[in-house]
Each structure stands twice: as C-alpha cells, then as structure tokens.
C-alpha cells in the first residue's frame, strides 16, 4: 500500500462541506496518509484548527494568502504570531506574491509577504509559498531574508528559476498541471529535478489533473499526479511515493 502525502489541499473549503467525511474516506483508500491544509485568511485559522483536531491526518498551516489581500488587516500579522504561540502548525502559509491579478496592490502584498517570512523564521517553521508572475521576486526576497525553508507550491517556472530555489534549499510542489501533455517545460523540470526537492500536491479543490478536468479536485486524485511523475522519471510509483512522503516529513516535521 502506498503512503502518500498531499502537501497542499484546501480541504476546509466550503465546497467539501457536503461530503468531507467521504472525501477523507476516498483519500484514505487511495493511500493519502497526510494532508497539509494551508490557510487563506485569519477567518480560516479556527476552521482549519478544528478540522485538524478532529482528523489527525490533516496538518495545519496558518497564514495570509496574497489573493485574499482585501480581507487582511495589518494587525492580523500580530494575530498570526499570537495564534502560532498557542496552536500547533506544520508551516506558515499560504503566503506569497501574485502579480497576475491586477486588483492586488503589489506594495501591500510585499509587506504581508516579508512580514510573514520573518514570522516563519522566528517560529522556525517552513513556508508554503504562492508565486504567480512573481517567481524571481519571491526567490530574491527569500534569499535576502535568509534562514528560511519551505515549498513553492504549484511551481510553474523555468529550470533556471527552479535551480535558484534548490540553492536556497526549497522544495517544489507539483500537482495537476504536470498531468497535461502540453506542459512541456514543467514536465522537463519534474523529469530531471533532484528527487529530494519534490513534493506532491493537489491544491484541492482547484487544479484538477487531466483525467478530472472541470471537476472539483480532491486529495484522492493525488494518485494521478504520482503516476504521471513516475512515468516522466521512468521509475515505479512506489519510489516517488516513498521519496515525496520522506521529503514532506523532513520539511513539515510530522
Ligand atoms: Zn493554495
């Protein structure tokens, strides 16, 4: 039986309210033993804490996601410190920069991102990073602050950008996009990258793989990602399953 880790799934999302128990059941049957659940805003923290208290396979991360900038207030940064003092977390996340959506003010995003990188370093926690049209700035910011570890989730950059992240000791989170044959650049990175830098993710309920196009995504679908990556690398799926779960254990310390 495979032992898989979904390193990124928003299973607290209201889209799972109708069948969350069944979703966990399907994940368990597919061999998903651990699921990292990143936060999006302050309001999501208690929801995620409650979920992870009830489900030991769900591992919480707390943070302020760049896409939800309108919901954030400066005082939420201090609230995050307070929350991390009294609640177990495996990471600070989801944090990052999104220069794709024009309504998100870059200066405000930068402030939340930098402050949360400092919080992660102060608490000795890894970061779960969202980078869209912002890969170079995300990398240079993390390099400047230093003393960080973590994962760039749903990595979609070039091989050169990936190499800069590996130099910093960062992991790449790979999910549904790699299952599409047209994703040539990403597939080349995933086929040749160091195995010890690889994490699997679904990003549920978003980013379904080619076999589930247009559907709500969920952790059980991680198996499709696993099989595509194993095929690209020419190894057995169990090799990728074992290595990526080891990587997740090392990074998130569970
Ligand atoms: Zn996410």
Per-residue pLDDT of the chain (254 residues; tens, 9 = 90+): 789 999 999 999 999 999 999 999 999 999 999 999 999 999 999 999 999 999 999 999 999 999 999 999 999 999 999 999 999 999 999 999 999 999 999 999 999 999 999 999 999 999 999 999 999 999 999 999 999 999 999 999 999 999 999 999 999 999 999 999 999 999 999 999 999 999 999 999 999 999 999 999 999 999 999 999 999 999 999 999 999 999 999 999 99
Q: What is the pLDDT of residue 95?
A: 98
Cα-to-centroid distance, 167 and ligand 1 (Å): 24
Cα-to-centroid distance, 118 and ligand 1 (Å): 20
Cα-to-centroid distance, 203 and ligand 1 (Å): 5
Report residue 19 CA to chain centroid gap: 22
> Which residue, among 251, 109, 233, has the nearest Cα to 173 in the 3D structure?
251
Cα-to-centroid distance, 94 and ligand 1 (Å): 6
CB environment 173-199: b (16+ within 10 A), e (fewer): bbbbbbbeeebeebbebbeebeeebbb
Residue 53: partners with Cβ closer than 8 Å, 6 or more residues away: none
Q: What is the pLDDT of residue 2?
A: 87
Cα-to-centroid distance, 33 and ligand 1 (Å): 19
Cα-to-centroid distance, 206 and ligand 1 (Å): 8
Residue 82: partners with Cβ closer than 8 Å, 6 or more residues away: none
Cα-to-centroid distance, 136 and ligand 1 (Å): 19
Cα-to-centroid distance, 128 and ligand 1 (Å): 9
In the chain, the domains with their CATH numbers are: 4-252 (3.20.20.140)
Cα–Cα distance, 133 to 144 (Å, whole number): 19
């Amino acid at each position: 039986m495979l032992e898989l880790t979904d390193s990124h799934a928003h299973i607290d999302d209201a889209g799972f309210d109708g069948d969350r128990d069944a979703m966990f059941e399907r994940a368990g049957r597919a061999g998903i033993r651990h699921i990292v659940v990143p936060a999006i805003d302050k309001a999501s923290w208690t929801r995620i804490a409650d979920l992870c208290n009830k489900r030991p396979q769900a591992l919480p991360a707390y943070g302020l996601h760049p896409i939800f900038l309108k919901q954030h207030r400066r005082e939420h940064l201090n609230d995050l410190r307070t929350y991390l003092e009294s609640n177990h977390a495996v990471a600070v996340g989801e944090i990052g920069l999104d220069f794709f959506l024009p309504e998100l003010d870059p200066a405000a995003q930068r402030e939340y991102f930098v402050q949360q990188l400092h919080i992660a370093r102060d608490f000795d926690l890894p970061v779960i990073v969202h980078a869209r049209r912002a890969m170079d700035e995300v990398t240079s910011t993390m390099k400047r602050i230093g003393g960080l570890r973590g994962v760039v989730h749903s990595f979609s950059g070039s091989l050169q950008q990936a190499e800069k992240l590996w130099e910093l000791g960062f992991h790449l989170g790979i999910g549904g996009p790699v299952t599409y044959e047209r994703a040539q650049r990403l597939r080349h990175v995933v086929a040749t990258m160091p195995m010890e830098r690889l994490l699997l993710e679904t990003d549920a309920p978003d980013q379904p793989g080619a076999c589930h196009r247009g559907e709500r995504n969920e952790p059980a679908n991680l198996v499709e990602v696993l099989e595509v990556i194993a095929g690209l690398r020419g190894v057995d799926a169990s090799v990728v399953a074992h290595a990526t779960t080891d990587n997740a254990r090392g990074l998130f310390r569970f």
